[in-house]
Amino acid sequence: MKQSVMDPGIEAGLISLSVEDLDVAEAAAIYRQYGCLVVRGLMRPYVEDMAADIAATVEQSIALLDQAEKRPEGWVSPNGSLFIPAPEGYSRDKQIMTVGISYLTSAAFLRSALDPTALDILEAILGPNIELFGQGQSLVKEPVGGHPKHLHQDSAYFEHRFEGPVAILSYVVDTDLSNGALHVVPGTHKKGQLRHVDTFSHLGLDEDEWPWEASLPVTGQAGDSIFFHVRTVHGSKQNHVDSPRPVFINRYRRPDDYAIIRATTTANRAEAEKRAMRARRDDEPKGLMVRGFRPFSMSDGAGADGAA
Ligand SMILES: O=C(O)CCC(=O)C(=O)O
C-alpha cells in the first residue's frame, strides 16, 4: 500500500526570520535542519524593478506567441518564455509558465543575485566559494486560473553530484493561498531522490503519496524570500485572483558541483539516468563567481579559455 505524508509538522514561523535583525548562523541552521528558510524582506530593494522587467517580458512573450516553437514541455517563444495549455474558458489557448527574463536581460535581476545579505547566508550554507547556477528563473501564474506547479523536488530536473544548488524564490507581489503561495515540505531534503511522475506541470510527485496537506504554505509580502534545498519538496497551487502572481528565483552552488542528470519528463529522465555516471564538471558552463574564488583544476578544463 502507498504511504502518504499528511502533515508538515511545523508552522511557517519556525522557519522564518526577518532581514532587519538577521542572525546568519541561525538562518543557516534553520536551512540545514528543515531544507527551507524564509527571510522576510530580503529582496524588497529589487521588487519594483523586477515587477516592471517581468511584466515587460511577459508582454513581449505574448506578442511573440504565434512564433513559439513546440517542445516536450510546451511551447517556447523566441524570447525564451515557456507556455503550457491554458485552463478552459481562457482568452488564449496557452498560458505563460516560465518567463524569458534572465541576468542577460534584466539588470535588476543580476543585482538581486548579488545581494550581500543573501550571499552571507549562502556562504554559511555552502562555504566560501559560490557560483551562480543558471541565468535566473521567473515564473508567472496568470490571473484567474494560472497554472499550479505540482509538489516536486528540483533534483528531479537537475540532480547534482554533491550538495546541489540552493534556490532563493522571492515574491514580487503579496502572495497568499488565493494567488499561489509556495508550499514546502520541511525536512524532505534528507529523503534522497524521490520517484516522480509526469504531470500537467512536468515532473511531479504522485499526489496520492504527496497530497497538498503534507505541505506547509508560506504566505508572504512582496520582497519575502524562501530558500530551499534542491531535494526539498515544494510546489504551488493555481492563481485565483485577477492579477498575475510573479516570482523570481536565484540559484547558487559550490563551483565544483555539477548536474549529473537533467530532465523534464520521466522518459528523458530515464535516458539521462543511464549517462549519470559519465557526467563531468567540464560538461557544463561555469557560473559567475559571486563569493570567493574558483580554484584551478587541471581536470575541469579551466585553462582552455585562455589558450587563444
Ligand atoms: O512558481 C512557483 O511557485 C513554483 C516554482 C517552482 O516550484 C520551481 O520553479 O521549482
Q: Which of 222, 166, 154, 136 is nearest to 193 (CA)?
A: 154
- 12-291 is a CATH 2.60.120.620 domain: yes
The residues that bridge with 242 in the sheet, in sequence order, are: none
pLDDT band at 301 (very low <50, low <70, confident <90, very high): very low
Residue 298: exposure state from Cβ atoms within 10 A (0-12, 13-18, ≥19): exposed
Atom of ligand 1 nearest to the CA of 181: 3
**31/295: higher pLDDT:** 31
Ligand 1 mean position, distance from CA 32 (Å): 20
Residue 182 near ligand 1, beta carbon < 6 Å = yes
Ligand 1 mean position, distance from CA 306 (Å): 38
pLDDT in the model for residue 297 = 77
Atom of ligand 1 nearest to the CA of 182: 3
Instruction: Write the CA distances from 203 to 81, 153, 180, 246, integer angstroms.
Output: 18, 9, 18, 21
**pTM score, two decimals?**
0.95
pLDDT band at 305 (very low <50, low <70, confident <90, very high): very low
- Across the range 94-105, mean pLDDT stands at 98
- Across the range 28-42, mean pLDDT stands at 98
Ligand 1 mean position, distance from CA 181 (Å): 10
pLDDT band at 300 (very low <50, low <70, confident <90, very high): low
Question: Atom 1 of ligand 1 has which residue's CA nearest to it?
Answer: 139
Residue 231 near ligand 1, beta carbon < 6 Å = no
- Across the range 172-189, mean pLDDT stands at 98
Extents of the domains making up the chain: 12-291
pLDDT in the model for residue 230 = 98
Ligand 1 mean position, distance from CA 241 (Å): 18
pLDDT of residue 189 exceeding 90: yes
pLDDT of residue 302 exceeding 80: no
pLDDT in the model for residue 129 = 97
Which of 138, 140, 159, 169 for a ligand 1 pocket mutation test, highest count of atoms within 8 Å of Cβ? 169
Share of the chain above pLDDT 90, in %: 89
Q: What is the pLDDT of residues 152-172, one digit of tens each?
A: 999 999 999 999 999 999 999
Ligand 1 mean position, distance from CA 258 (Å): 21
Long-range contacts of 191-197 (CB under 8 A, 24+ apart): 191/231, 191/233, 192/231, 193/153, 193/155, 193/156, 193/159, 193/231, 194/153, 194/156, 194/233, 196/152, 196/153, 196/156, 196/266, 196/269, 197/266
For 133, the 3-state DSSP assignment is coil
User: Quick one: cell of 148?
Assistant: 499550479
pLDDT of residue 140 exceeding 90: yes
Contact 76, 84 (CB under 8 A): no
Residue 139 near ligand 1, beta carbon < 6 Å = yes
Ligand 1 mean position, distance from CA 141 (Å): 10
Atom of ligand 1 nearest to the CA of 180: 3
pLDDT in the model for residue 89 = 82
pLDDT of residue 303 exceeding 50: no
pLDDT of residue 151 exceeding 80: yes
pLDDT in the model for residue 7 = 83
Q: What is the pLDDT of residues 105-120, one digit of tens each?
A: 999 999 999 999 999 9
pLDDT in the model for residue 306 = 34
The crossing angle, in degrees rounded to 10, of helices 116-126 and 24-34 is 50
Ligand 1 mean position, distance from CA 149 (Å): 6
pLDDT in the model for residue 304 = 38
Residue 186 near ligand 1, beta carbon < 6 Å = no
pLDDT in the model for residue 3 = 56
pLDDT in the model for residue 4 = 64
pLDDT of residue 243 exceeding 50: yes
- Across the range 210-233, mean pLDDT stands at 98
